[in-house]
Structure 1
Amino acid sequence: MTDGTPVPADTFRSMMAGFPTGVTVVTALDGTRPWGMTCTALCAVAVDPAILLVSLRTVGPTVHAVLGRKAFTVNFLHAHARQTARLFAGGAPDRFDHIRWETTDGCCGPHLPHDAHTIADCRVVRADEVGDHVVVYGEVISVRRLEGDTPLLYGLREYASWPVQK
């Protein structure tokens, strides 16, 4: 039995490092300015209607753009997009100057077609502040599948590729 005290942040991070997950870059527009961040905290909530949730830091411009526009894009990164994952995990304000991206009519945020195997546009249906993050629920309104590589994974504080079955 524990005393009910939450574990320290570094203990929690260490625990979660042992839980490999896919890697995405969540993007949104603030007017015409693009924002985005690497996100591994994503899951499917419902199939009908199709709802995803992403967990975004409460500080930083990406979550403010997502909530302000009430829309976002999830770029599911492929195995050759490790540099993009690292770029968007850092705080560089000019990160979009270092990659190829595009917006099209009806998109909810910048698309990263050279780095993603799938892109999903979502409209915000709910947001809940939890600790130092905002859990954002998005209804998927379009899916774009791209010719691409296997998914990029993150675990044990390393990026890896999905193993190819032969």
Structure 2
Amino acid sequence: MTDLPLVEAFPVAPATVDPVRFRTLMSTFPSGVAVVTAMDPDGHPRGMTCSSVCSVALDPPTLLVCARRLSPTLRAMLRLSLFAVNLLHARARATAELFASGAVNRFDRVRWHADPSYGGPHLVDAAHAIADCQITRTVEAGDHVVVFGEVYEIEQCAPAVPLLYGLRAYSSWQQPEPELS
């Protein structure tokens, strides 16, 4: 492993970009949609829709998710150091909207399965793939927390077209039309 030199930090000017403008900017960058789930210590399921999911490393297999600092799902993730990332398929828009809504009964309205070996509940009808993760690190970033998770198990549910979110709308992957020569 090579030690990389640290870049000298320069003073940063205070943020001048309005949060609404920043949200508009990021809405033009589409991403896949996931529901991040965890069990709280009392055995209650928690979950939230998340488009801030990113692969970090292959060795060990690591991903990151970003969660609002006050999220009950984040609290459950941190208490047990476990979570699951349910990657949603294109037919799971209703599940994405449900878990983004904050509805307290969301787990009563979807089919899910929990097992002691899972990082969190698996949304069996909505996910095309699920990664079970062990938390290895967290970083506070403004009003969110970046959670790094080492993936210890993957469940491929079924081949499917992924659900996407961008321009403040859900969509799905479409094959591009051939280019004209």
Q: TM-score, with normalisation over the residues of structure 2?
A: 0.87
Identity of aligned residues (%): 50
Is 1:16 matched up with 2:26? yes
Say which SS state the counterpart of residue 81 (structure 1) adopts. helix
Residue matched to 2:125 = 114
User: 1:57: Cα distance to partner?
Assistant: 0.4
Aligned residue identity for 1:11: R
CA distance in 2, matches of 1:28, 1:4: 35
Does the 8 Å CA contact 1:23/1:153 hold for their aligned counterparts? Answer: yes
Number of equivalenced pairs:
164
Aligned residue identity for 2:90: A
C-alpha distance after superposition, 1:39-86 (max 9, x if no partner)? 000101100000000000001210000000100000000000000000
- Alpha-carbon RMSD: 1.3
Higher strand content, 1 or 2: 1
C-alpha distance after superposition, 1:83-103 (max 9, x if no partner)? 000000111111101100001
Does the 8 Å CA contact 1:116/1:148 hold for their aligned counterparts? Answer: no
1:26 counterpart (25, 36, 44): 36
- Aligned pairs for 1:2-151 (under 5 A) are 5-31=15-41, 32-151=43-162
C-alpha distance after superposition, 1:102-136 (max 9, x if no partner)? 01230010000110010000000001111000000
Q: TM-score, with normalisation over the residues of structure 1?
A: 0.95
The structure with the largest alpha-carbon Rg is: 2
Structure 1 runs of 4+ with >2 Å offset: 3-6
